[in-house]
Amino acid sequence: GQNIDQPTEMTATEGAIVQINCTYQTSGFNGLFWYQQHAGEAPTFLSYNVLDGLEEKGRFSSFLSRSKGYSYLLLKELQMKDSASYLCAVRSPSGGYQKVTFGIGTKLQVIP
Amino acid sequence: NAGVMQNPRHLVRRRGQEARLRCSPMKGHSHVYWYRQLPEEGLKFMVYLQKENIIDESGMPKERFSAEFPKEGPSILRIQQVVRGDSAAYFCASSPANEYSNQPQHFGDGTRLSIL
């Protein structure tokens, strides 16, 4: 089966840096996605990793270690608008196609 | 360049009625996925469709739920004889391909279904 773990809640201070971790155990691996979801809204795509290492995109970076089944999302210079849930999702082969399985999401609260 | 369009945004039904949720994928996308999300919970996969074909419906309850993606028109998620436990947000996502690709799924704004 597929198992994706991430903390349910985190709190960080405006202007600071926060790291949201995600560990996964899946049958096969073909990429990891991070999405941001504000309350009551649609998830929006943030980043994609398929090879080991760090992908940087502005204030957001995402890291992957396939051997450890581990990823993190790093948010720098936190802003109040970054308060949202962050979903880790893994793509893996399932029944002849590539299935994306989502973690429960980490609810990040940014405080002044 | 319209994104994934879902309607209605909010739907209220009484127990025993039918709910029909619609999803038009992004232009050029032929793969549609439906997810269900309860408050404080993650996205739960329900069904994956391509035009006129159901590829994987393993996440969909065997009874009362059905989905289709006809050759013409939007994808429809249909829930018959709704019960209180069906109250949730239902999200549709689409992608241009399913194979090895860095293309993510793009999500619609969801339909919030409330059962009275």
Q: What is the pLDDT of residues B12-42, one digit of tens each?
A: 999 999 999 999 999 989 899 999 999 778 8
Tell me the chain A residues in contact with residue B99 when contact means C-beta distances shorter than 8 Å.
Answer: 98
Q: Taking a C-beta distance cutoff of 8 angstroms, is the pair A91, A31 a contact? A: yes
Indicate whether A47 pLDDT > 80: yes
CB-nearest to A42 from B58, B102, B108 is: B108
Confidence of residue B99 (pLDDT cuts 50, 70, 90): low
Each as own residue / partner, the long-range contacts of residues A47-52 (CB below 8 Å, 24 or more positions apart, any chain) are A47/A73, A48/B102, A48/B104, A50/B102
Percent of the residues in chain A that have a pLDDT greater than 70, as a whole number: 99
Strand-pairing partners, residue B24, are B5
Confidence of residue B1 (pLDDT cuts 50, 70, 90): low
Q: Determine, for residues A102 and B108 on separate chains, whether the beta-carbon distance falls below 8 Å.
A: no
Indicate whether B100 pLDDT > 60: no
Give the pLDDT score at A95: 80
Inter-CA distances, B8 with B41, B91, B93, B95, Å:
22, 11, 15, 21
Please provide the distance, in angstroms rounded to a whole number, between the alpha carbons at the two ends of chain A: 41
Q: Which segments within B1-116 are labelled E, that is strand?
A: 5-7, 10-13, 19-24, 31-37, 43-50, 53-56, 65-68, 75-79, 88-95, 106-107, 111-115
Percent of the residues in chain A that have a pLDDT greater than 90, as a whole number: 87
Q: Taking a C-beta distance cutoff of 8 angstroms, is the pair B105, B91 a contact? A: no
In chain B, which residue's Cα lies nearest the Cα of A99? B98
Give the pLDDT score at A111: 97
Amino acid at B55: I
Indicate whether A56 pLDDT > 90: yes
Give the pLDDT score at B98: 64
